[in-house]
Amino acid sequence: MALSRFVLPFTDVGRGIKPSSGAKLFFYATGTGTSTPASTFSDSAGNTPNTNPVISDANGVFPNIFMSGMFNVVLKDSNDVQVWSADPVNGIPSTGTGFDQVPLNSDINTKFVVNFNTLLDAVGSTLLVDGQSVNLKERTTGNFGGAIWDVVLASTVTPNIYSIVESTGIPALALVLRLGNEIDLIALGASPNATGSHNSAVFQYASSQTDFNVINVCEGSFTISETWVLNDKSLVGAGWRKTQFLPANNTIDAIEFAEGSDFFECRGFTVIYPSLGTGNGVTINNDCHNYVVNQVETILASTGMLIGSRGFAVSIDDVRFNNGVNGLVINGSGQATTFKIGTAYCNVMSNIGFNFNAVNDVYADNLIADLISNYPVFVSSTVTLQINNLHMENGDFGSNAEVAYLRLNSVKNAIINNINADLMTSTVPHYAISVQDGPTKLWLKGYRNVTSTNDNLAIINEVGGKPDSTYTFEGTSVDSNSIITTAGGSDGRYIFPDFQNFYFTGVTGSSGKFQVSHPNVPAILGSAPKGIFANVLDNGVNSAVEVITFSGITQFQLRSLSTGGAVSTSGVTINAHLRYDT
């Protein structure tokens, strides 16, 4: 690296006297007066020291003077009469390999940036001075992490190996990483080539600092030996599969956002476990609010993403959960609200794809579930659920006693704009939607099922329904499958605005006889069949079940002919098949 040339800022030595033979330039360490001489050199490489003082020739011309550092410079004539002095005078390193200077402002004596290839090069330099700034090309060779560091007196700081590093070339100095609102994890010392314990230590240090709010992680694969916990900070990677976090074993949780974190991002990375175990990919703890999850993927995590209670104002989009037990799980405990989900994808889950529990409001644009062994979507104790598109393929439910694409437990309001099911298989009857423990108001605005392996599939399976449950079907298409089967509840009301022709193949499982009637036209029971749109069934007692057909029905209830009241549907099966025009 090259030293800077010292140029005397005077043309005269004394008043009106041109430089004379024997003029003297003395160089001292800055701030020490004349007690500590400092070296200068006759060559830019710093190999040949000058005398101190440096003496002018017969023409008053000084030889080459190269320097680096801070100096007190004193000029005297040949009679040792002081003519001029300056303190400090800053020797500025000039352009050279791996080391350069860029002035920051006109006060060039105190503020400038020098460039080094790596942090190791910078801390080993013997040419740094207090007040400089250092620009690193990368923290370690081939691992990125370039950043700006400031040179300070070592006595004013405490080195920590992450953001404050002591100089080895000049032990009285230290380098301090310049921090803004964001920091690159590599700049603090993490590395794709480092051990999991080293990277975890760097990460925990970053999370503990209050100087910045965003931790950026560059492209690469980073081993994790313990859970990385973020305290009120964003974690931003370079994108799916570009930034990869690799837990060292399958029992540790990988990324965790601490309880009470607010206004943060979780974006741009993939968590890959060595095998399926008990570790969760991403955990967002209780009382986390106003956050965004985007472009996050997990592979072989037990639960891809686990979200705790009392969260609100949450946006989740472009997430993928692969080869686990559960995909996306939200445990709201009745105190979580306003979760907005864009596109979320679950693939190969041994239990549930999407599990929303006790969340007041969930709005999802596009949920995709492929090869889910139990429920693709399970929602419980939720006030409002809206799914614009639910697409499922290749589900294999095996011999589970009760299976459904969408399970609703104690859900008050559900709007499902479209269900698309392809290649769903089961050895027992399965359903599009299982509704339990209502009352539930459900609007299904589109349903398509293709190549199901069990013809007993029904759109709705009701268990434990309660009065005032309402099912609204619009534009729904099924191939000779049941509309509803029910095993409990009472006074259920079913609304089918777009359906024109129904026929019943049986109503069984409860005592008494039933009629199907339009609630807006009162039935006169026991007399003329005013308002009765279907014949009375004999509760399946006869071996030959009468098929009842009626048209123009948009809403119906089950009522007892003997009492005229609504009939408990406990144990009742309604095989309401649809005839529709294609």
**Measured between alpha carbons, how far is residue 493 from residues 68, 447, 567 in Å?**
89, 20, 11
Using CA atoms, how far apart are residues 124 and 350, in angstroms rounded to an integer? 55
Helix (H) or strand (E) holding 201: helix 196-208
8 Å CB contact between 531 and 517: yes
Per-residue pLDDT, averaged over 19-48, amounts to 85
Q: What percent of the chain has pLDDT over 90?
A: 34
Top-confidence residue, 249 or 525: 249
Q: What percent of the chain has pLDDT over 70?
A: 66
Residue 73: pLDDT over 70: yes
Top-confidence residue, 27 or 464: 27
Helices (H) and strands (E) in the chain, counts: 2, 41
Using CA atoms, how far apart are residues 206 and 70, in angstroms rounded to an integer? 34
**Measured between alpha carbons, how far is residue 290 from residues 21, 405, 571 in Å?**
76, 30, 45
Per-residue pLDDT, averaged over 415-421, amounts to 83
Helix (H) or strand (E) holding 119: helix 119-123
pTM of the model: 0.70
Top-confidence residue, 276 or 461: 276
From 249-258, 269-278, 538-547, 553-562, the region with the lowest mean pLDDT: 538-547
Most confident of 24-28, 268-272, 440-444: 268-272
Per-residue pLDDT, averaged over 157-177, amounts to 93
Q: Tell me the per-residue pLDDT of 210-237, one tens digit each, with 9 for 90 and over.
A: 888 999 998 999 999 999 999 889 999 9
Top-confidence residue, 320 or 146: 320
Residue 326, number of CB atoms within 10 A of its CB:
24
Where do we find the tokens 């009468």? 546
Using CA atoms, how far apart are residues 455 and 438, in angstroms rounded to an integer? 26
From 108-117, 232-241, 441-450, 545-554, the region with the lowest mean pLDDT: 545-554
Most confident of 96-110, 285-299, 328-342: 285-299
Please report the pLDDT score of residue 483 as a whole number. 59
Top-confidence residue, 438 or 556: 438
Residue 280: pLDDT over 50: yes
Please report the pLDDT score of residue 252 as a whole number. 95
CA 373 to chain centre: 26
Please report the pLDDT score of residue 528 as a whole number. 27
CA 126 to chain centre: 44
Q: Tell me the per-residue pLDDT of 486-532, one tens digit each, with 9 for 90 and over.
A: 554 444 444 444 443 343 434 443 333 334 443 433 333 233 232 33
Residue 256: pLDDT over 90: yes
Top-confidence residue, 542 or 155: 155
Please report the pLDDT score of residue 437 as a whole number. 78
Q: Which letter does DSSP use for residue 259 in this model?
A: T
Q: pLDDT band for position 94 (50/70/90)?
A: very low
Per-residue pLDDT, averaged over 278-292, amounts to 95
Residue 302: pLDDT over 80: yes
Per-residue pLDDT, averaged over 278-294, amounts to 95
Please report the pLDDT score of residue 395 as a whole number. 62
Q: pLDDT band for position 550 (50/70/90)?
A: very low
Q: Tell me the per-residue pLDDT of 327-364, one tens digit each, with 9 for 90 and over.
A: 999 998 777 788 999 999 999 999 999 999 998 889 99
Using CA atoms, how far apart are residues 363 and 339, in angstroms rounded to an integer? 6
8 Å CB contact between 505 and 547: yes
Average pLDDT score over the chain: 75
Please report the pLDDT score of residue 486 as a whole number. 57
Per-residue pLDDT, averaged over 91-118, amounts to 52
